[in-house]
Amino acid sequence: MQSIRKILSSAWQALFGDPVRAFGVVSLGLLLALAIAPAKEHFSQWHSYQRHYLALIHDRGDAVSLRRRFQPGIHQIWLPELGVVDRCTTCHLGLNEASLGDVKEQPFRKHPVVPHSLDGFGCVICHGGQGPATTVAEAHHSERAGEEPILPTRYIESGCGQCHQNALLGTPRLNLGRTMLTRYGCVHCHAITRPDGTKVAATDHPPSLVHIADKTTREWIYSWLKDPQAYAASTTMPNYKLSDVDASDISAYLVSTSTTHAGDTAALGTKPAANADPSAGPSLYGESFCSSCHAVQNAAGNLVGGDLGPELTRLGNKVKPEWLTAWLQNPRIYDATTPMPQYRFTPQQITILVAFLQAKTDSDYGSSVHLDVASPPQIAHGRKLIVELGCAACHEINGVQKPENFAPDLSTIGSKPLTQIVFLPGMEHTMSSYIVAKIREPRAFGPSVKMPQFALTASQTDALTTALLALTNRSRTMPDNLRVAATPETNYQPAGHAGKLINELACFSCHRFNGRGGDMAPDLSWEGSAVQRQWLTDFLHNPNTLRPSLIRRMPRFNLSDSDNKELTDYILTVYQSPSIDADFTLTPGIDAGTVEHGRQLFYSKYACQACHIVDSKTDKGYIGPTLTQVGSRLTSAWVYAWLRNPQALRPGTTEPNQNLNDDDARALTAFLMSLKGPAGRGAKQ
């Protein structure tokens, strides 16, 4: 005790013994205190990165200009309208330096080329993470207080989707995800409102189940409910993981409440003719181009055909022959809004087709299913399950109301606070991993979760996650001028008898008219300006293929002459382009000299034979439509306007705009219009 006091007093004496010494010591102390702040900055992480950057550029050829553009200190991109306060550029110093593209080490690499500037949009809009942070750990990986780490690169396109509600060329993953939201029925249960207030509408067509007992058996419904993908691998129907009892009770309810539909099948024989040619079925199926919309699994297990309609691999297991007969005769009696056209088959054709399709049977499928007659309590239990699982959100079901807001609204799911989310043990605490896990295995989040199991590949799950992550608060609060709206589908409806025909033939399933319809076949909004009457009449009677390389083709509909005339008249009168001059005449006319000049331009100057066939003996280009009889098909006004600017008539068409001068365009038009095709063609077949 004594000695400690002695040491302290001698130390006091040594430091503050006389006033001069005391003054010196206090000054030194003050100096040290003042040095804390600059030292802290000096040893900060970002400062070390900045020094490292200077060392990196020191030896480069353009060091002088790089150093001139370098500014020490903390950098910040502040965009109040977007809620962006990004200090990422404090360490990521080379983002805008074109010459640093070869630098591999981060954070100094140049940013890859993207359509937007860094200064206009900042970083976190696309990359996520914590913009204002100035350490790597806080900016990239912080999970404190519900903060999100940076977004894995595979979801980066969700950034684009916050402003761009339309489909972009460079974001295939986002586009796929958005298509899936509407095609896989997500929006039947989950409401999604776009920032402009419009609702995302479903584009799938879940069948109505009100007449289900006419179509199929209770045993098939049972097998289907147990595992939809076992019947058709490509179906979008999810698996509800039902128990045997539950599936049995649901099927009992559906069958017991099913009503008979008004189809008249009595006139049609359902038995195939005994002497029917066995090749008649496949060839009628082929000629009718059923495979443009329906797929069938081939021997190798690959799906062949389109995905617009249901897969037909095991159709014989599912439908009753009398239903199929009535359906092929007129699908709109069973389902008024089906995308399936009314083909106008003859009774004999229907018999052939029914026999052919019914033979698509897998004898193993559902063979072990034997259901006892259901009791009223079982049927009542089936109804309870249907209500609980929300089957009526997609399907029309007798005695069950379509539920409203059945599942959580997903309009801002991308910004949902992480604190409101229950993560599974061992899961990364990020929105993206939560969404992926929820889509991949919804029931892993608890047995009471109603969301069913969808059969999606990993890349489909990623695409869907990308589309969902784009639904953020920022996409709603940002200034309107940054928002790029989606092109909404119009509710265009053609009028009169022709309008009825267009609906019956389901033209909208493949073709687009005035902003409504499918994209499998050409947009016909201006078809009336493009084609000649005789050609259109012949084509509707017997569609021949214009593009030899296409495998999806227009089917033949057995139209009556009067229906054909009605449609032809309507198309030629109504679907006219305002930019095509109907009174256009070629000057000079189609004389031998101009035609020959056009031929030379076609073959030499513009080398159109690279993609088109004019002379089927010598030309081989089959990318564009065959032009051997284009003079009997198209109007000269259309050909001329097309040659001047193809994209003006059909945006996005692949034919390049060659910027033809007027003389060349006229000579080429004259040449093309002289191609009338072989004699006798074009007449009615």
Partner 1 sequence: MMMRSTARRTIRISALALFALAAVAGCKHSAPPAAGLKATAAGSAIVESSGGHQVGVTGTVLKDPLVVQVNDDQGTAVPGALVEFHGSAGVSFDSAVMLTDSSGQATTLVTLGTIAGRYQLSAVTPGKSKPVSLDIVETALGYQQRVGSILADKYCNRCHDSESSPERVSNYDNLEVKPHAFTDGSTLNKMSDADLTSIILHGGPALNRSALMPPYGNTLSPADVRALIAYTRAVADPPFEPAGTVYARK
The CA distance from 366 to 233, in Å, is: 15
Among 363, 368, 659, 685, binds partner 1 (CB under 8 A): 659
Q: Which is nearer to partner 1, 316 or 598 (CB)?
A: 598
Q: Which residue has the tokens 């539909």?
A: 261
Are 212 and 391 contacting, i.e. CB atoms less than 8 angstroms apart?
A: no
Smallest distance from the beta carbon of 152 to partner 1, in angstroms?
7
* 306 touches partner 1 by CB under 8 A: no
- CB-CB contact of 482 with 163 (8 Å): yes
Q: Output the DSSP codes for 211-271.
A: THHHHB-HHHHHHHHH-HHHH-TT--PPB----HHHHHHHHHHHHHH--------TTS--S
Report how far residue 520's alpha carbon sits from residue 518's, in angstroms, rounded to the nearest whole number: 6
Residue from 10, 346, 647, 661 that binds partner 1 (CB under 8 A)?
647
**Contact by Cβ (8 Å): 75, 89:** yes
Q: How far is the CB of 53 from partner 1 (least distance, A)?
A: 11
Q: Per-residue x/- mask for partner 1, residues 109 to 138, rule CB under 8 A?
A: x--xxxx-----------------------
Strand partners, 128: 150
State the nearest-atom distance from the C-beta of 303 to partner 1, in Å: 12
Q: Does 60 bind partner 1 (CB under 8 A)?
A: yes
Least distance in angstroms from the C-beta of 63 to partner 1:
9
Minimum separation from the CB atom of position 638 to partner 1 (A): 19
- Residue 14: exposure state from Cβ atoms within 10 A (0-12, 13-18, ≥19): exposed
Nearer to partner 1, 432 or 577 (CB): 432
Shortest Å, Cβ 607 to partner 1: 4
How many other β-carbons are positioned within 10 Å of the β-carbon of residue 301? 8
Tell which one of 348, 416, 622, 676 touches partner 1 (CB under 8 A).
Answer: 622
Near partner 1 by CB under 8 A: residue from 71, 106, 346, 616: 106
We find the least distance from the C-beta atom of residue 100 to partner 1, in angstroms, to be 10
Of 318, 317, 296, 311, the residue nearest 364 (C-alpha)? 317
At its nearest, how many Å lie between partner 1 and the CB of residue 1? 40
- Binding status of residue 32 toward partner 1 by CB under 8 A: no
Give burial (CB, 10 Å; 0-12/13-18/19+) of 259.
Answer: exposed
Among 9, 13, 477, 654, binds partner 1 (CB under 8 A): 654
Residue 626 CB, shortest distance to partner 1, in Å, is 13
Which of 152, 306, 442, 555 lies at the binding interface for partner 1 (CB under 8 A)?
152
Count the residues of the shown chain that bind partner 1, applying the rule CB under 8 A.
Answer: 50
Task: CB nearer to partner 1: give 589 or 656.
Answer: 656
**C-alpha atoms less than 13 angstroms from C-alpha of 313 in its C-beta half-sphere:** 23
> By C-beta, is 558 or 609 nearer to partner 1?
609
How many CB atoms neighbour CB 682 within 10 A? 18
What residue ranges in 273-408 does DSSP mark as E strands?
295-297, 303-305
3-state helix, strand, coil in the chain (%, to 5): 50, 5, 50
**Whole-number Å distance between alpha carbons of 323 and 370:** 22
CB-CB neighbours of 546 under 10 Å? 16
Shortest distance in whole angstroms from residue 645 CB to partner 1: 8
By C-beta, is 367 or 459 nearer to partner 1?
Answer: 459
Dihedral sign for Cα 632, 635, 640, 646, please: negative
- In the list 27, 560, 610, 616, the residue contacting partner 1 (rule: CB under 8 A) is 610
CB closer to partner 1 out of 245 and 623:
623
Judged by CB under 8 A, which of 61, 301, 376, 377 binds partner 1? 61
Shortest approach of partner 1 to residue 65 CB, angstroms? 12
Which range binds partner 1 by CB under 8 A, 251-259, 281-289, 526-534, 601-609?
601-609
Distance of closest approach, residue 311 Cβ to partner 1, in angstroms: 18
Q: Confirm or reject binding of residue 70 to partner 1 (CB under 8 A).
A: no
The two three-digit tokens of residue 554, written as one number: 């227009």
Single out the segment in contact with partner 1 by CB under 8 A; choices: 503-511, 538-546, 583-591, 651-659: 651-659
Figure out which of the listed residues 605, 615, 616, 681 binds partner 1, where binding follows CB under 8 A: 605
493 binds partner 1 (CB under 8 A): no
**Residue 172 near partner 1 by CB under 8 A:** yes
Among 27, 477, 604, 661, binds partner 1 (CB under 8 A): 604
Q: Which of 415, 437, 436, 413 is nearest to 424 (CA)?
A: 437
Under DSSP, the state recorded for 367 is T
Task: Tell the smallest beta-carbon distance from residue 654 to partner 1 (Å).
Answer: 6
| One-letter amino acid of 80 | P
d(C-alpha 600, C-alpha 595), whole Å: 9
Task: By CB under 8 A, name the one of 611, 632, 674, 675 that touches partner 1.
Answer: 611
Q: How far is the CB of 62 from partner 1 (least distance, A)?
A: 7
Of 15, 16, 25, 52, which one interacts with partner 1 (CB under 8 A)? 52
Nearest partner of 315 among 361, 364, 352, judged by Cα:
361
Residue 342's alpha-carbon distances to 116, 331, 556, 676, in angstroms, are: 49, 6, 11, 33
Of 45, 47, 25, 44, which Cα lies nearest the Cα of 36? 44
- Between 85 and 611, name the residue whose CB sits nearer to partner 1: 611
CA atoms within 13 A on the CB side of 39: 6
The correct pick among 3, 420, 549, 562 for binding partner 1 (CB under 8 A) is 549
Question: Which of 363, 549 has the CB closer to partner 1?
Answer: 549
Burial class (CB in 10 A: 0-12, 13-18, 19+), 576: middle
Which of residues 173 and 218 has its CB atom nearest to partner 1 in the complex? 173
Binding site for partner 1 (CB under 8 A): 43, 45, 48-49, 51-52, 59-62, 99, 104-106, 109, 112-115, 152-154, 156, 169-170, 172-173, 458-459, 462, 549, 551, 604-607, 609-611, 620-623, 645, 647, 654, 656-659
